[in-house]
Structure 1
Amino acid sequence: MDVDAYLDRIGADRSTSLRELHRAHLVAVPFENLGIHLGETISLHPEDLFDKIVRRRRGGFCYELNGAVAIVLEELGYAVARVGVRVHSGERFGPILDHLALLVTDHDGEQWLFDVGFGAHSTYPLKVSERGEQKDPGGVFVIAPTPEGDLLVSRDGQPEYQVEPRARDLGDFEPACWWQQTWPGSHFRKGTICTRLDGDGRITISGRKLVRTDQKGRTERALDGDAELLAAYRELFGVVLDRAVS
């Protein structure tokens, strides 16, 4: 992994703090599932992650984004644990390894939940040891231990996901990554999404709809025709595609 090239991709350098690395990544690299709908094979090999995110200036989903930045953080001297997450669907928690997040220990020995691969989540890392409310531009977060030894992460009073704090290899997530790409019931196959942080708001292309959210509220408009859709990907996300998908 060419760490300096990766940092340049997100507008950071080796002196950038862990807190600001998190925000910079969310601004520069979109959460997107376009590869699945383009028929691309998603690989978690470090060289392939670097090629997609840095050379081709694309984004990805959790296994790719957190998988790649974990390597960068380790090269910068942080201790990184790749951990499995059960995402709450609104009714129940999904299977373990449904999501990949990171537990990162900083140079002072403090551990943080670092997650740049969930789409809309916290703008900054969350302190794992804090049991009170953590106010963030993305919402009010609470991390609470469960009787089983996991960590329940809630946002604005609602369960977001549950972290199993056991460190895993990135390869452990490969079957789940394949499953998310191929299972007909996977929400990643039901429609395209491309989203990134924009100030304290968010800019998103969902299917053929452009959505902007900020402190003033939400606006949306249709993107008419392939040319307008491809131009929006290129101008708003730096994503250059040779054909439209939706």
Structure 2
Amino acid sequence: MNSARIDSYLRRLGAARPARPTAGVLRDLHLRHLRTVPFENLSVHLGEETVPSEERLLDKVTGSGRGGFCYELNGAFAALLTSLGFEVTLLAGRVYGDEGRLGIPYDHLALRVGTVDGGEWLADVGFGAHSHFPLAFAERGEQADPGGVFRITEAGPHAAGAAGGPGAAGGDLDVLRDGKPQYRLEVRPRTLEDFTAGAWWHSTSPASHFTRSLVCSLVTGDGGRITLGGRTLTVTTADGTREVRELEGDDEVLRVYRERFGIELDRVPEVGEPRGAARNS
């Protein structure tokens, strides 16, 4: 990333350029990212390609004012952190689904981040509802966070695989939220290009939840969350109070995308629209 791109990214986050890559700076940038860059899968339903390349991701986040899902959000965040002097390692994960089954390989992208003041952190701005702050990577006890109580644990010797069979953990880690496993992380370093097949699958497969639903979501300033799922707007406060309402027409949907998420669209995405660009990637 060049200096102009770094400044553009930091302006979107509302952050000044930090003097040093410390744990405190990482915490601040992590929370700002969750509050300003939406977790969204709109590209899947707008026929837009999802390509895990640094230049494409940065163009989307800093140029187009958009968000994305894990490959895009954590991929772009990794580029920013690296440019600011953090030590960043990309890690592959498999998300836990129904009945404890693990998703496809390269199902999720998360970040292992080292800071100059010591320690390593699990940073993840691309999982939707998750921790608001980075988690201490080496800590195996409970870690309280506004998003819940989290634990990083050594994975067991076996887990239900994508096809239901056993899979060796091999030193992998399970990330739990409020006692429920969220995803399993490999500890082997990966490159952004390694996630190409996962991005393609999530953008095109009928089995992917991203092709079957629309979501756009941000953490709010009070620690709650605002989510537009299709045409249903849900605002959840930090204490769990939820306000849900159906938006009445295209104009209101586009206005909510613009005013609440900072996303300018010329048409409303709909589940089931042709995704030619994604299908041909």
| Pairwise same-fold verdict (TM > 0.5) | yes
Provide Cα deviations, 1:46-86, integer angstroms capped at 9, x if missing partner.
22212111111010010011011101111111111101001
Provide Cα deviations, 1:93-148, integer angstroms capped at 9, x if missing partner.
21221000001111123110000000110000000111111000000001111253
Counterpart of 2:27 in structure 1: which amino acid?
Answer: R
Partner of 2:146: 137
Bigger mean CA deviation after superposition, 194-203 or 142-151:
142-151
Partner of 1:31: 39
Partner of 1:171: 193
Give ranges in structure 1 of 5+ residues lacking alignment: none
Partner of 2:277: none
**How many angstroms apart in 1 are the aligned matches of 2:109 and 2:34?**
16
- 1:96 alignment partner, SS class: coil
Partner of 2:209: 187
Q: CA deviation at 1:3?
A: 1.1
Counterpart of 1:38 in structure 2: which amino acid?
Answer: L
Check 1:185–1:216 CA distance in 2 against 1; reply closer, same or farther (3 A cut): closer
Q: CA deviation at 1:14?
A: 2.1
**How many angstroms apart in 2 are the aligned matches of 1:103 and 1:231?**
36
**How many angstroms apart in 2 are the aligned matches of 1:176 and 1:157?**
27
Q: Which has the larger radius of gyration?
A: 2
Q: CA deviation at 1:42?
A: 1.6
> Which contiguous aligned blocks of 4+ residues in structure 1 show a shift greater than 6 angstroms?
none
Q: How many matched pairs? A: 246
Q: TM-score, normalised by structure 1?
A: 0.97
Partner of 1:22: 30
Q: Does 1:57 align with 2:65?
A: yes
Provide Cα deviations, 1:171-207, integer angstroms capped at 9, x if missing partner.
0001110111111111000011000100210000001
- 1:68 alignment partner, SS class: helix
Q: Does 1:77 align with 2:77?
A: no
Bigger mean CA deviation after superposition, 141-150 or 115-124:
141-150
**How many angstroms apart in 2 are the aligned matches of 1:245 and 1:218?**
24
Counterpart of 1:244 in structure 2: which amino acid?
Answer: V
Larger RCO: 1 or 2 (CA < 8 Å, sep 6+): 2
Note the aligned Cα RMSD (angstroms): 1.1
Counterpart of 2:11 in structure 1: which amino acid?
Answer: D
Bigger mean CA deviation after superposition, 138-147 or 12-21:
12-21
Bigger mean CA deviation after superposition, 195-204 or 144-153:
144-153
**How many angstroms apart in 1 are the aligned matches of 2:240 and 2:55?**
41
Partner of 1:88: 96
- 2:51 alignment partner, SS class: coil
Q: CA deviation at 1:237?
A: 0.4
Counterpart of 2:121 in structure 1: which amino acid?
Answer: W
Give ranges in structure 2 of 5+ residues lacking alignment: 19-23, 157-169, 271-281
Q: TM-score, normalised by structure 2?
A: 0.85
- 1:17 alignment partner, SS class: helix
